[in-house]
Amino acid sequence: MKFDDEPLIPGENLPLRPGHSSPGRLERVLRAGAFAVTAEIAPPDSADPEDVYARAALFDGVVDAMNATDGSGANCHMSSVGMCSLLTRRGYAMVMQVSARDRNRIAIQGDVLGASAMGVSNILCLTGDSVGVGDHPEAKPVFDLDCMSMLSMLRGMRDQRHFLSGRVLTNPPQVFLGAAANPFGPPLDYRPLRLAKKVAAGAQFVQTQYCFDIDVFKDYMRVVRDMGLHEKVFILAGVGPLASAKSAEWIRSNVLGVHIPDSIIRRLSGAEKQKEEGVNICIDMIRELKDIAGVSGVHLMAYRQEHRVAEIVQRSDALAGRELWHPGIARDADPATS
């Protein structure tokens, strides 16, 4: 399957196609109807760029874009905009996460302009976790905006060519706007309605919380389809390998909005090699998710198992029928043929 007719030079975006919001690869893949794969790249506790490059190399040739997280869990790491700056120069397609917890509207608008200028085509708008759950509980939260108002603001910058203040932009950011979605947070019947609000605010793609409970997710998607939302937004289902039955039980008890069925915990606990079984479960989930109508791809969150992402993508046939550009092959490689 071919998506790009033009050569790609690292650090430079492809031309903007008619009907597209961004010149980026992720939007091209999704609008072409292919099953997209994104992954979360963990930021280092370091100022050494080589630490970033080493982490990104794990995803070479197996993902359509990488999420640079923004203080996830309210913990401090290298910034999302800093990681994007380093990796766009090497030709990687980035999703820059922006948390409203840490920035006001002035900072967010400035960061998005800068990100677009350096080649970031995808922005994921997040409200952000409370500072109380992170490693700086004494920090002062901002929350000038939430994810909905941020989406609306950035859509206005892109489509109406003005700041939130009304001041005109000379050149607007060409960005594909995304949000997070949690199909598993109670009350369950409200979750599709919240997705509809994010779509109305400007979300063009969403990446969901871990979808360990496929049956609940199928019910969610059924309502999403009934509401016609699958025709308005690209939905990437969240997946990831579990390390053990013990860690699965801890996540179920302590991570809000993540439900892991007893059947998965039993499967892990009965395995001789639980970490390997966690990878097998993730692969089975991807195969099942690919068959659900309205699912446009998967978002891999392999915390401390990033080295298994390539194996998971390859064994699950997530990229069946197509290949991805490998940033290390050549500086002017065509992503459709390399």
Per-domain boundaries in the chain: 25-242+285-315
Alpha helices in 118-261 (DSSP H): 147-155, 191-201, 214-226, 245-254
CA atoms within 13 A on the CB side of 192: 17
5-63 confidence digits (pLDDT tens)? 554 444 455 788 999 999 999 999 999 999 999 999 989 889 999 999 999 999 988 99
19-33 confidence digits (pLDDT tens)? 999 999 999 999 999
| Whether the predicted pLDDT of 338 surpasses 70 | no
The highest-level CATH class for domain 25-242+285-315 is alpha beta
CA distance 62 to 122: 18
Structural contact between residues 74 and 129, judged by C-beta atoms closer than 8 angstroms:
yes
Structure confidence at residue 129 (pLDDT):
75
194-219 confidence digits (pLDDT tens)? 999 999 999 999 999 999 999 999 99
Give residue 153's Cα distance to chain centre: 20
Report which DSSP code applies to 304: T
| Whether the predicted pLDDT of 332 surpasses 50 | no
Per DSSP, the residues of 43-65 read PPSSS-HHHHHHHHHTTTTT-SE
Average pLDDT over residues 76-98: 92
124-179 confidence digits (pLDDT tens)? 999 977 766 667 788 888 899 999 999 999 999 999 999 999 999 999 999 999 99
Structure confidence at residue 155 (pLDDT):
98
89-139 confidence digits (pLDDT tens)? 998 999 999 999 999 999 999 999 999 999 999 999 999 777 666 677 888
